[in-house]
Amino acid sequence: MLVPRSTATLLTMLARVAYRVVLARFNSFSRAARQFLAFSLLLSTAFAIFNLVFNLYMNALGFSNDVIGLFNSLPAIALLLVGLPAAAIADRLGYRVFLLGSASLAVLASLVLAVASSRLLAVLAAGTFALAVIVLGVLESPLLTQLSSQTERVAVFAFNQSLGWLAVLVGDAFGGIIPEAMARMTHRSSSSAAALRSAFIATAVLTLLSLPFLLRLVRRSDLRPVVTFPVRELLRFDVGRFGRVLLPSLILGIGAGMYLNFVQLYLAQRFGLTPGPIGVILAIGAALTAVVTLAAPSVGRRLGITRTIGLAQVVGSPLVLALAFLMVLPVAVVVMYVRQLALNLQGPLSQVFGMEYVEGSQRARLATAQAVVSGIGVGGIGPLLSGFLQVRGGYQLAFSVSALFYLLSGLIFLWLFGKVKLASERAR
């Protein structure tokens, strides 16, 4: 079925509010930052469409939930193998080569995904696209840190995450609408592989449109290395400092991966929803998150950055536990939104924390280590464990275990960093 008129109206209103708030902040940043954010917006929108449709598409091709969980883990495994050496080189040589290489790989993979009907080609192209976008996301934090001053850094990171959720809003909306429209045109089910594959065409187009902004950006001197150091120092870093940051990230990543990778299937299998309504639900959540995330600097000032991060992770635990047992769709959707708002309010603060907690010469390595460790959880252990538990105890068992990981990550983070004050806090 198509999106109801009243729901579409609400979605449009939320999109307008998010657009106005985000645009007002966007114009206050430097030209280089705006170019990168415009590139990020288009690519993130493409990735949002991909994320909405991929699991549904794999399900339509006949794969079971545990196999789909394995597919979700492939980009994380690849990043684990190549991420840290690549980041160390990026710290020394700058980010230009890695930005261009990953963007080109994303374009090629998205084009293959849009036209491939083979199950093997679809899985390989999807994994390649996801890996390329993950690498671009890894470089985002050190680059934005380099482009921002201490006094504005939290605001820049909050805006960037808010813009990312605006991309999710648009991507979820179109990712749901396109298969529904294709189904009406072809008189097929919107959950069929052919209808779902049509959404990947939009992914390819948006990825191509993002390239001009990146090409303008890479010509600038802003992408120079922070510091030059001998090649023998490439893989040396503060093990103790890195380890303290990465431990709660791994635990949170596992809990999040057990839940996030199966949201679409959770709504489809438990409540019988089709791609259109699923896209609307996720798009509304993205609109709310895009606006609320802008409050991160204010909340961080009131509670402290580290305390806000830990408390938000703890709050996620009872919310995910509730989703394990809720059977009423409206209540489940509200709980999903509250969990999403709480966890993403701490997102930009967590990025700032990591970038300021280590030396400038090690930022790309920490960002990559965080992405690798989080990816092991979100895209590796999390979906694998969740899929395994689902085929034995359903969403009740899988989401209950997920809730435990959320609780542990928050408590451990507060224990390690609850009293730490960052440079951006002292600069106010």
What is the mean predicted confidence (pLDDT) over 213-226?
Answer: 66
1 domain residue, yes or no: no
280 domain residue, yes or no: yes
Burial profile 66-94: b = 16 or more Cβ within 10 angstroms, e = fewer: bebbbbbbbbbbbbbeebbebbbbbbbeb
Using a pLDDT cut of 70, give the percent of the chain over it. 76
Tens-digit pLDDT profile for residues 156-209: 777 777 777 778 778 877 887 888 888 788 777 777 777 888 888 888 899 899
5 domain residue, yes or no: no
- What rounded mean pLDDT belongs to the chain? 78
Which residue has better confidence, 134 or 251?
A: 251
Name the domain count of the chain. 1
4 domain residue, yes or no: no
Query: Is the pLDDT score of 319 beyond 90?
Result: yes
Query: For residue 228, what pLDDT is reported?
Result: 45
* DSSP one-letter code for 419: T
427 domain residue, yes or no: no
CATH number, domain with residue 145? 1.20.1250.20
233 domain residue, yes or no: no
Least confident stretch, 12-26, 151-165, 225-239, 313-327: 225-239
Least confident stretch, 299-303, 322-326, 335-339: 299-303
Query: For residue 404, what pLDDT is reported?
Result: 94
Burial profile 387-413: b = 16 or more Cβ within 10 angstroms, e = fewer: bbbbeeeebebbbbbbbbbbbbbbbbb
Query: For residue 1, what pLDDT is reported?
Result: 41
Query: Is the pLDDT score of 372 beyond 80?
Result: no
| This model's pTM is above 0.75 | no
Query: For residue 73, what pLDDT is reported?
Result: 67
**What is the residue range of 134's domain?**
11-225+238-422
356 domain residue, yes or no: yes
Paired tokens of 405:
């990981």
Least confident stretch, 53-62, 133-142, 355-364: 355-364
143 domain residue, yes or no: yes
